[in-house]
């Protein structure tokens, strides 16, 4: 009986020691990689911001503000990155998402000129169908028919698909994706307009 008890306690202590060592190693690895991952994430975000807004001399990431936008699609948090030149606002990048895409969430960053016209955009995340909805990366900047949203204003133009009486051609065979993408653009503009008014933010 003593031998069995001894074996049980030896196994228990061994498992406890292995678990403690493994936990310690995981914690150490997390601490070791946390800062490089954070730096890489910030660098990636800065690159996306640079691609969609006018030249600036401030730090849009350090001056970012979050806004809660409520519309027919629900409640969404949008992050506004203001771009300034010699203290004057020249535009902003706005990061937001819409969860009604064919594959779920579509996350974008869209750049606005100071007057609210769309300067450019980048799709940061999506799970849309390759060859169909995934075309949004380029479709809405292409000078063909009524696809292009660059240079348009969500105030002066109806940035909805033509099937919904809007001005924009939907991606062929991907109307659901197109609706979600354009809804995200509208959410981004709403947050930008709110920031221009000095509205409430988090």
- Residue 13: per-residue pLDDT: 80
Give the residue among 195, 184, 197 at the shortest CA–CA distance from 66. Answer: 195
d(CA 139, CA 185): 14
Which is higher by pLDDT, 105 or 36? 105
| pLDDT exceeds 80 at position 5 | no
CA-based radius of gyration for the chain: 24
- Residue 201: per-residue pLDDT: 57
**For range 16-44, the mean pLDDT:** 74
- Residue 35: per-residue pLDDT: 72
Mean pLDDT of the chain: 89
Sign, Cα dihedral of 152, 83, 182, 160: negative
- Residue 64: per-residue pLDDT: 95
d(CA 84, CA 16): 56
Give the residue among 164, 155, 144 at the shortest CA–CA distance from 113. Answer: 155
Res. 202 pLDDT band, cuts 50 70 90: low
**For range 193-199, the mean pLDDT:** 82
**For range 2-28, the mean pLDDT:** 74
- Residue 3: per-residue pLDDT: 53
Res. 70 pLDDT band, cuts 50 70 90: confident
Report CA 110 to chain centroid distance, whole Å.
Answer: 9
pTM of the model: 0.79
Digit-coded pLDDT (tens) for 114-149: 999 999 999 999 999 999 999 999 999 999 999 999
- Residue 34: per-residue pLDDT: 64
- Residue 117: per-residue pLDDT: 97
Q: Which two tokens stand for residue 43?
A: 């660098």
Res. 102 pLDDT band, cuts 50 70 90: very high
Res. 41 pLDDT band, cuts 50 70 90: low
Question: What are the helix (H) ranges across the chain?
Answer: 2-52, 136-139, 175-197
């Amino acid at each position: 009986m003593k031998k069995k008890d001894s074996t049980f306690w030896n196994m228990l202590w061994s498992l406890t020691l292995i678990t403690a060592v493994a936990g310690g190693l995981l914690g150490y690895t997390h601490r070791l990689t946390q800062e490089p991952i954070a730096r890489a994430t910030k660098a990636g975000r800065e690159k996306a911001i640079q691609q969609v807004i006018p030249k600036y001399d401030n730090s849009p990431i350090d001056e970012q503000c979050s806004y809660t936008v409520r519309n027919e699609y629900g409640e969404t948090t949008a992050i506004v990155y203001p771009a300034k030149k010699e203290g004057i606002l020249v535009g902003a990048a706005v990061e937001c998402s819409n969860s009604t895409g064919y594959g779920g969430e579509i996350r974008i960053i869209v750049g606005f000129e100071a007057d609210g016209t769309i300067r450019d955009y980048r799709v940061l995340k999506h799970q849309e169908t390759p060859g169909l909805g995934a075309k949004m990366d380029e479709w809405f900047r292409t000078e063909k028919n009524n696809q292009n949203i660059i240079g348009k204003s969500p105030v002066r133009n109806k940035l909805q698909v033509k099937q919904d009486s809007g001005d924009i051609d939907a991606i062929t065979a991907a109307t659901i994706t197109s609706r979600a993408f354009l809804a995200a653009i509208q959410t981004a503009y709403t947050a930008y307009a709110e920031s221009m008014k000095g509205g409430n933010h988090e």
